[in-house]
Amino acid sequence: MKKKIPIRRPIINRRIFVKRTSLGMSAIGLGLTSCSSPKQDKSAGSDVAETSKRKLGVALVGLGNYATNQLAPALQHTEHCYLAGIVTGTKDKEQIWKDKYGIPDGNIYNYDNYDSIVNNEEIDIIYVVLPNSMHAEYTIRGAQAGKHMMCEKPMAISVTECQQMIDACTQANRKLSIGYRLHYEPFNAEMMRLGQKEVYGKITELEASFGFTMGNLDQWRTRKAMAGGGPMMDVGIYALQGSIYIMGELPVTVTAKNTTINKEDWKDVEGSLEWEMTFPSGVVAKYETSYESNIQFLKAKAENGFFELAPAYVYNGLKGVTSDGPMNIEPVIHQAKHMASDPPGQAYGCIYQ
């Protein structure tokens, strides 16, 4: 049975929302700017000038699949920042990454000496790529070490932890970015433009889904204590966020139900989930997310046409179509756009200004 829950949210009008999202708004509502930002001391003009001319150093915390196969390679294509260091709990990975990326010994850390990164002036930004339950701790400690912070989505596993992360960065006068790459991906940016600019008129229907069949069930994503939940915390976020930036509105109600197919396999978290969200304009959006089936699309119908992506969220091979024909858009390296590029009219980059 679905239970409708009103969403308590800050008051924000459409004009402000559209302005923020067009600037690459993150999950905490701050705008991104170029990576060529001052590192620490903003009072000394010479320090600012010197820092603005050099690349900013990024340290990756957690060297799992995403860091290894996406972030590290993407950092080889960024103009204003570079892979400067790593933090890993696996000793064998240290030499592999050192040899592959030329990382000096002094920029290699483990989870025990992580806090000593405060003394490393070559590292400006820390990017946390750990299981969800570890996001808050390592973001807070990184901010306390004086570094600007990037953290993978979901931001954390509770509202309380999210607020603690924001507070820690605020108190340390450091910036915080959440790694939602699709704000900087051109197909999704086009969906945002078509919806918020009402190119085909007002939105009348929205549907979104993202799911895949998980083969290995012996991983942290299947454990609630580490993941915070099932596919919603992992891939459902893309469907949810996609509809929000199409509408240019934040939802006011949500209803959801557990639609897990094989409940014997999914006892700790749900294996599948369906939900609906109502937006202030009256549009009711429908969603699916799953670890039990392969689904992926982002679709919008409007008064005078339609526009959609399928696939919508993967790293490459995205395809879009509108009622006027296919979207002819050049693909990009998502993570490189997210971390360090500066195309005209947009504000992408490593850290918040």
pLDDT > 70 fraction of the chain, expressed in percent and rounded: 81
Same structural domain, 327 and 191: yes
Boundary of a domain, candidates 180, 214, 233:
180
Boundary of a domain, candidates 122, 152, 180:
180
Same structural domain, 144 and 45: yes
Same structural domain, 176 and 43: yes
162-171 pLDDT per residue, tens? 999 999 999 9
Looking at residue 2, what is its pLDDT?
53
257-286 pLDDT per residue, tens? 999 999 999 999 999 999 999 999 999 999
Boundary of a domain, candidates 153, 180, 207:
180
Q: Are 122 and 37 in contact (CB under 8 A)?
A: no
Same structural domain, 164 and 194: no
Same structural domain, 215 and 76: no
> Would strands 108-109 and 56-61 be described as parallel, antiparallel, or unpaired?
unpaired
- CATH number of the domain where residue 56 is located: 3.40.50.720
Mean pLDDT value across the chain: 86
- CATH number of the domain where residue 276 is located: 3.30.360.10
* pTM to 2 decimal places: 0.84
Same structural domain, 173 and 194: no
Q: Strand pairing partners for 60?
A: 86, 127
List the catalytic residue out of 39, 153, 175, 301.
Answer: 153
Angle, alpha carbons 283-284-286 (nearest 5°): 135
62-89 pLDDT per residue, tens? 999 999 999 999 999 998 999 999 999 9
98-122 pLDDT per residue, tens? 999 999 999 999 999 999 999 999 9
List the catalytic residue out of 238, 287, 348, 352.
Answer: 238
Same structural domain, 208 and 222: yes
Is 287 a member of any domain? yes
Same structural domain, 206 and 66: no
Within 13 Å of residue 235, how many CA atoms lie on the same side as its CB? Answer: 29
Same structural domain, 141 and 40: yes
Q: Please tell me whether residue 200 adopts helix, strand or coil conformation.
A: coil
Q: 């934040």: which residue's tokens?
A: 250
Domain hosting 58: range is 32-180
292-302 pLDDT per residue, tens? 999 999 999 99
Active site residue 153: yes
Handedness of CA 136, 138, 144, 149 (dihedral sign): negative
Is 166 a member of any domain? yes
